[in-house]
Copies of this chain bind each other. A is one copy, B any other.
Amino acid sequence: MTERPIGVFDSGIGGLTVVRALTRRLPHENIVYYGDTARVPYGPKSPQVVRTYAAEDTDVLLAHKVKMIVVACNTVSAVALDVVQKRSRVPVVGVIVPGAETAARVTRKKRIGVIGTAGTVRSQAYDHAIRRVDPTIEVFSRACPLFVPLVEEGWIDHKATEMIAREYLFPLMLEKIDTLVLGCTHYPLLREVIGRVLKGVVTLVDSGEATAVAVEEALETHGLKNPSTLRPNLSFYVSDIPHAFSEIGERFLGQKLGVVKKM
Protein backbone atom coordinates (compact mmCIF):
# COMPACT_ATOMS: atom_id res chain seq x y z
CA MET A 1 0.00 0.00 0.00
CA THR A 2 2.77 2.48 0.96
CA GLU A 3 4.41 1.98 -2.44
CA ARG A 4 1.29 3.10 -4.24
CA PRO A 5 1.52 6.50 -5.86
CA ILE A 6 0.16 9.76 -4.58
CA GLY A 7 -2.37 11.03 -7.12
CA VAL A 8 -2.27 14.71 -8.01
CA PHE A 9 -4.71 16.43 -10.34
CA ASP A 10 -5.18 19.88 -11.75
CA SER A 11 -7.17 21.62 -14.48
CA GLY A 12 -4.00 21.75 -16.57
CA ILE A 13 -0.28 21.92 -16.03
CA GLY A 14 -0.19 24.53 -13.25
CA GLY A 15 -0.39 21.74 -10.67
CA LEU A 16 3.14 20.74 -11.64
CA THR A 17 4.33 23.46 -9.24
CA VAL A 18 2.67 21.40 -6.49
CA VAL A 19 4.39 18.25 -7.79
CA ARG A 20 7.67 20.15 -7.67
CA ALA A 21 7.06 21.02 -4.00
CA LEU A 22 6.05 17.40 -3.27
CA THR A 23 9.17 15.90 -4.88
CA ARG A 24 11.36 18.25 -2.85
CA ARG A 25 9.72 17.41 0.45
CA LEU A 26 8.98 13.72 -0.25
CA PRO A 27 11.69 12.59 -2.67
CA HIS A 28 10.81 8.88 -2.46
CA GLU A 29 7.08 9.01 -3.13
CA ASN A 30 5.72 7.72 -6.43
CA ILE A 31 3.40 10.25 -8.05
CA VAL A 32 0.70 10.03 -10.73
CA TYR A 33 -0.29 13.41 -12.15
CA TYR A 34 -3.39 14.12 -14.21
CA GLY A 35 -3.96 17.45 -15.94
CA ASP A 36 -7.28 18.12 -17.68
CA THR A 37 -5.62 20.11 -20.46
CA ALA A 38 -8.52 19.48 -22.87
CA ARG A 39 -10.85 21.59 -20.71
CA VAL A 40 -8.44 23.98 -18.98
CA PRO A 41 -8.96 26.54 -17.45
CA TYR A 42 -11.43 25.84 -14.64
CA GLY A 43 -10.96 29.27 -12.99
CA PRO A 44 -13.54 31.25 -14.97
CA LYS A 45 -16.14 28.44 -15.13
CA SER A 46 -19.20 27.89 -12.94
CA PRO A 47 -18.98 25.84 -9.72
CA GLN A 48 -21.43 23.30 -11.23
CA VAL A 49 -19.17 22.58 -14.19
CA VAL A 50 -16.05 22.50 -12.01
CA ARG A 51 -17.73 19.94 -9.72
CA THR A 52 -18.57 17.69 -12.67
CA TYR A 53 -15.00 17.87 -13.94
CA ALA A 54 -13.58 17.28 -10.44
CA ALA A 55 -15.53 14.02 -10.17
CA GLU A 56 -14.17 12.83 -13.51
CA ASP A 57 -10.60 13.82 -12.63
CA THR A 58 -10.91 11.91 -9.35
CA ASP A 59 -11.97 8.78 -11.22
CA VAL A 60 -8.92 9.00 -13.47
CA LEU A 61 -6.63 8.96 -10.43
CA LEU A 62 -8.57 6.24 -8.58
CA ALA A 63 -8.12 4.01 -11.63
CA HIS A 64 -4.37 4.29 -10.95
CA LYS A 65 -4.85 2.89 -7.43
CA VAL A 66 -3.48 5.96 -5.69
CA LYS A 67 -3.05 5.93 -1.91
CA MET A 68 -3.96 9.60 -1.54
CA ILE A 69 -5.36 12.38 -3.72
CA VAL A 70 -3.86 15.85 -3.78
CA VAL A 71 -6.16 18.41 -5.39
CA ALA A 72 -3.51 20.75 -6.78
CA CYS A 73 -6.09 23.01 -8.42
CA ASN A 74 -7.11 25.93 -6.22
CA THR A 75 -10.44 26.32 -8.03
CA VAL A 76 -11.39 22.67 -7.42
CA SER A 77 -10.12 22.83 -3.82
CA ALA A 78 -12.31 25.91 -3.35
CA VAL A 79 -15.59 24.70 -4.84
CA ALA A 80 -15.46 20.91 -5.16
CA LEU A 81 -13.23 19.36 -2.48
CA ASP A 82 -16.30 17.60 -1.02
CA VAL A 83 -16.97 16.00 -4.42
CA VAL A 84 -13.48 14.48 -4.44
CA GLN A 85 -13.75 13.38 -0.79
CA LYS A 86 -17.12 11.70 -1.27
CA ARG A 87 -15.87 9.80 -4.29
CA SER A 88 -12.64 8.39 -2.88
CA ARG A 89 -11.86 6.15 0.09
CA VAL A 90 -8.27 7.40 0.23
CA PRO A 91 -7.27 10.58 2.10
CA VAL A 92 -7.75 13.83 0.15
CA VAL A 93 -5.64 16.97 0.57
CA GLY A 94 -6.55 20.27 -1.11
CA VAL A 95 -4.36 23.35 -1.44
CA ILE A 96 -6.62 25.90 0.26
CA VAL A 97 -6.46 24.83 3.91
CA PRO A 98 -2.65 24.37 4.02
CA GLY A 99 -2.14 27.76 2.33
CA ALA A 100 -4.66 29.45 4.62
CA GLU A 101 -3.17 27.96 7.79
CA THR A 102 0.36 28.95 6.82
CA ALA A 103 -0.75 32.51 6.09
CA ALA A 104 -2.63 32.72 9.39
CA ARG A 105 0.54 31.61 11.21
CA VAL A 106 2.81 34.03 9.34
CA THR A 107 0.82 37.28 9.51
CA ARG A 108 1.75 39.72 12.28
CA LYS A 109 -0.62 42.54 11.44
CA LYS A 110 -3.50 40.07 10.91
CA ARG A 111 -4.06 41.46 7.44
CA ILE A 112 -3.79 38.85 4.68
CA GLY A 113 -4.20 39.28 0.95
CA VAL A 114 -5.34 36.42 -1.29
CA ILE A 115 -5.00 36.32 -5.08
CA GLY A 116 -6.44 33.60 -7.31
CA THR A 117 -8.74 32.84 -10.22
CA ALA A 118 -12.23 34.32 -10.43
CA GLY A 119 -13.71 31.03 -9.18
CA THR A 120 -11.39 30.73 -6.20
CA VAL A 121 -11.86 34.34 -5.10
CA ARG A 122 -15.62 34.30 -5.53
CA SER A 123 -15.89 31.13 -3.42
CA GLN A 124 -14.22 32.93 -0.46
CA ALA A 125 -12.73 29.55 0.47
CA TYR A 126 -9.44 31.10 1.63
CA ASP A 127 -11.29 33.74 3.67
CA HIS A 128 -13.29 31.07 5.48
CA ALA A 129 -10.28 28.81 6.07
CA ILE A 130 -8.17 31.70 7.43
CA ARG A 131 -10.93 32.94 9.74
CA ARG A 132 -11.44 29.40 11.00
CA VAL A 133 -7.89 29.62 12.38
CA ASP A 134 -8.29 33.15 13.73
CA PRO A 135 -11.56 35.07 13.30
CA THR A 136 -9.82 38.38 14.04
CA ILE A 137 -7.73 38.21 10.86
CA GLU A 138 -8.87 40.46 8.00
CA VAL A 139 -8.70 38.98 4.51
CA PHE A 140 -8.59 41.01 1.27
CA SER A 141 -9.01 39.11 -2.00
CA ARG A 142 -8.48 39.92 -5.64
CA ALA A 143 -8.99 37.82 -8.76
CA CYS A 144 -6.09 38.13 -11.19
CA PRO A 145 -7.39 36.48 -14.39
CA LEU A 146 -4.53 37.72 -16.57
CA PHE A 147 -1.78 36.09 -14.49
CA VAL A 148 -2.44 32.57 -15.85
CA PRO A 149 -2.26 33.54 -19.55
CA LEU A 150 0.79 35.74 -18.84
CA VAL A 151 2.59 32.78 -17.27
CA GLU A 152 1.55 30.46 -20.10
CA GLU A 153 2.80 33.03 -22.62
CA GLY A 154 6.13 32.88 -20.76
CA TRP A 155 6.04 36.58 -19.89
CA ILE A 156 7.38 35.86 -16.42
CA ASP A 157 9.46 39.00 -16.17
CA HIS A 158 7.90 41.27 -18.77
CA LYS A 159 7.15 44.95 -18.25
CA ALA A 160 3.49 44.36 -19.16
CA THR A 161 3.31 41.69 -16.45
CA GLU A 162 4.71 44.14 -13.91
CA MET A 163 2.23 46.82 -14.99
CA ILE A 164 -0.68 44.38 -14.65
CA ALA A 165 0.62 43.09 -11.30
CA ARG A 166 0.86 46.66 -10.05
CA GLU A 167 -2.78 47.28 -10.99
CA TYR A 168 -4.04 44.01 -9.47
CA LEU A 169 -2.07 44.34 -6.24
CA PHE A 170 -2.51 48.07 -5.63
CA PRO A 171 -5.84 47.71 -3.75
CA LEU A 172 -4.28 45.03 -1.52
CA MET A 173 -1.30 47.28 -0.73
CA LEU A 174 -3.71 50.06 0.23
CA GLU A 175 -5.15 47.64 2.78
CA LYS A 176 -1.65 47.29 4.29
CA ILE A 177 -1.52 43.50 4.07
CA ASP A 178 1.68 41.92 5.41
CA THR A 179 1.06 38.46 3.90
CA LEU A 180 -0.11 37.42 0.44
CA VAL A 181 -1.37 33.94 -0.47
CA LEU A 182 -0.50 32.89 -4.02
CA GLY A 183 -3.84 31.09 -4.44
CA CYS A 184 -3.28 29.63 -7.91
CA THR A 185 -0.71 27.07 -9.03
CA HIS A 186 0.56 29.37 -11.78
CA TYR A 187 1.43 32.26 -9.50
CA PRO A 188 4.64 30.91 -7.93
CA LEU A 189 6.24 31.54 -11.33
CA LEU A 190 5.44 35.24 -10.85
CA ARG A 191 6.95 35.30 -7.35
CA GLU A 192 9.73 37.70 -8.35
CA VAL A 193 7.60 40.27 -10.11
CA ILE A 194 4.95 40.11 -7.36
CA GLY A 195 7.65 40.51 -4.72
CA ARG A 196 9.09 43.50 -6.57
CA VAL A 197 5.69 45.19 -6.88
CA LEU A 198 5.06 44.63 -3.16
CA LYS A 199 8.54 46.06 -2.46
CA GLY A 200 9.54 43.04 -0.36
CA VAL A 201 7.45 44.12 2.64
CA VAL A 202 4.85 41.37 2.19
CA THR A 203 5.47 37.68 2.93
CA LEU A 204 4.41 35.48 0.01
CA VAL A 205 2.78 32.16 0.87
CA ASP A 206 2.95 29.49 -1.83
CA SER A 207 -0.03 27.19 -1.25
CA GLY A 208 1.80 24.41 -3.12
CA GLU A 209 4.67 24.39 -0.63
CA ALA A 210 2.26 24.50 2.31
CA THR A 211 0.39 21.59 0.74
CA ALA A 212 3.55 19.46 0.50
CA VAL A 213 3.93 19.82 4.28
CA ALA A 214 0.27 18.86 4.80
CA VAL A 215 0.69 15.83 2.53
CA GLU A 216 3.68 14.63 4.54
CA GLU A 217 1.68 14.96 7.76
CA ALA A 218 -1.28 13.13 6.27
CA LEU A 219 0.94 10.29 5.01
CA GLU A 220 2.38 9.91 8.51
CA THR A 221 -1.03 10.07 10.20
CA HIS A 222 -2.38 7.32 7.94
CA GLY A 223 0.81 5.22 7.97
CA LEU A 224 1.10 5.65 4.22
CA LYS A 225 4.62 7.04 3.87
CA ASN A 226 6.74 5.09 1.41
CA PRO A 227 9.77 3.71 3.30
CA SER A 228 11.65 3.12 0.03
CA THR A 229 14.83 5.07 -0.67
CA LEU A 230 14.75 4.29 -4.39
CA ARG A 231 14.20 6.86 -7.09
CA PRO A 232 10.43 7.20 -7.39
CA ASN A 233 8.19 6.88 -10.44
CA LEU A 234 6.64 10.09 -11.67
CA SER A 235 3.89 9.52 -14.28
CA PHE A 236 2.14 12.28 -16.16
CA TYR A 237 -1.26 11.98 -17.84
CA VAL A 238 -3.20 14.71 -19.62
CA SER A 239 -6.46 14.93 -21.57
CA ASP A 240 -4.77 16.87 -24.40
CA ILE A 241 -1.19 17.42 -25.49
CA PRO A 242 -1.15 20.90 -26.98
CA HIS A 243 1.79 22.44 -28.83
CA ALA A 244 4.90 23.13 -26.74
CA PHE A 245 3.35 21.22 -23.84
CA SER A 246 6.60 19.77 -22.54
CA GLU A 247 8.52 23.06 -22.62
CA ILE A 248 5.78 24.86 -20.71
CA GLY A 249 5.37 21.94 -18.32
CA GLU A 250 9.07 21.84 -17.48
CA ARG A 251 8.92 25.51 -16.54
CA PHE A 252 6.37 24.53 -13.87
CA LEU A 253 7.94 21.29 -12.73
CA GLY A 254 11.49 22.59 -12.63
CA GLN A 255 12.81 19.44 -14.33
CA LYS A 256 12.27 17.34 -17.48
CA LEU A 257 8.78 15.87 -17.71
CA GLY A 258 9.72 12.66 -19.48
CA VAL A 259 6.94 10.75 -21.23
CA VAL A 260 3.49 12.31 -20.98
CA LYS A 261 0.56 10.09 -21.85
CA LYS A 262 -2.75 11.26 -23.27
CA MET A 263 -5.86 9.66 -21.74
A222 within 8 A of B: no
Q: Does the CB pair A46–B240 fall under 8 Å?
A: yes
Q: Does the CB pair A153–B163 fall under 8 Å?
A: no
A123 → chain B closest CB, angstroms: 11
Q: From residue 111 to 131 of chain A, which have CB atoms closer than 8 A to chain B?
A: 118, 122
Q: Does the CB pair B46–A243 fall under 8 Å?
A: yes
Q: Does the CB pair B45–A49 fall under 8 Å?
A: no
> What residues on B are CB-neighbors of A118 within 8 Å?
242-243
The answer for the CA separation of A167 and B159 in the assembled complex, in Å, is 11
A26 within 8 A of B: no
Encode A208-252 as 1/0 by CB contact (under 8 A) with B: 000000000000000000000000000000011111000000000
> What residues on B are CB-neighbors of A148 within 8 Å?
149
> What residues on B are CB-neighbors of A163 within 8 Å?
159-160, 163
CB within 8 Å of B: which residues of A? 37-39, 44-46, 48-49, 118, 122, 145-146, 148-150, 152-153, 155, 159-160, 163-164, 167, 239-243
Instruction: Enumerate the 9 nearest inter-chain pairs by beta-carbon distance, A residue then B residue, closest first.
Output: A149-B149, A49-B240, A160-B163, A39-B39, A38-B49, A46-B242, A160-B164, A46-B240, A45-B242
